[in-house]
Structure 1
Amino acid sequence: MHDRFSGSNASLSGPASFGFAIVPQDDDTLSEATRGLYVGQGGDLAVTTIAGADITFKAVPAGSILPVRVQKVFSTGTTAGDILGLV
């Protein structure tokens, strides 16, 4: 497969090139900080940003992509599902 952008540096404003499933949990951080989150099943999303701020996104619609860099997705306070970390 040809990738015309293979010689370009990735930027935070560009599209993600990798994704991984996130299982919300209160104890451990993610294996990798995200560039964004995809929310497949709508609901609330409680996270810790890479700057260390604990915030909750309320009523995130299904199919949303949030351009937020996070290190943790909490199970407590998260009702959204089918969450993917985008990097």
Structure 2
Amino acid sequence: MPQTDPFASHRRGLESPAATHFEIVPQDGTDLPVRPRVLRVVSAGDLAVRDAAGTVIIYPVAAGETFAFSAAGIEATGTTATVAGWY
């Protein structure tokens, strides 16, 4: 049976839930292929997040956490956590 989407006729907004997710492989100095709306932490550790200005800050994160930041990149140096991007 085909899936029914009761919201197909509605426009997606910034408050809408994410509809796409992708695996993130941390790479130093490399922009993510798609800028995520938020990050979902798959396994706990440290997360080296780079913003659009190139500033990197390392955050301790817990598994299951939704990290509400639209990162430009995730740096390999300093990252021990595993994350996915949602948009």
Q: Which interval holds the TM-score relative to the shorter structure?
A: 0.7 to 0.9
Q: Give, in whole Å, the separation in 2 of the partners of 1:19 and 1:66.
A: 14
Question: Cα offset for 1:51?
Answer: 5.5
Question: Cα offset for 1:49?
Answer: 2.6
- What's the RMSD between the two structures over aligned residues? 1.5
Aligned twin of 1:15:
17
Higher Rg: 2
Question: Cα offset for 1:12?
Answer: 2.6
4+ residue runs of structure 1 moved beyond 3 angstroms? 50-53
Q: Which has the higher strand share?
A: 1
Question: Cα offset for 1:28?
Answer: 1.4
- Return 25-34 or 10-19, whichever deviates more: 10-19
State the percentage of identical aligned residues.
Answer: 38
Q: Give, in whole Å, the separation in 2 of the partners of 1:27 and 1:70.
A: 12
The number of equivalent residue pairs is 85
- List alignment gaps of at least 5 residues for structure 2: none
- List alignment gaps of at least 5 residues for structure 1: none
Inter-CA distance 56–9: structure 2 relative to 1 (3 Å threshold): farther
Aligned twin of 2:46:
44
Q: Which amino acid aligns with 1:77?
A: G
Counterparts of residues 1-87 of structure 1 (less than 5 Å): 1-50=3-52, 52-58=54-60, 60-81=61-82, 83-87=83-87
Q: Which amino acid aligns with 1:42?
A: A
Q: Which amino acid aligns with 2:56?
A: D
**1:65-85 alpha-carbon deviations (Å, 9 max, x no partner):** 11211110000111102x111
TM-score, normalised on structure 1?
0.85
Q: Give, in whole Å, the separation in 2 of the partners of 1:26 and 1:10.
A: 32
TM-score, normalised on structure 2?
0.85
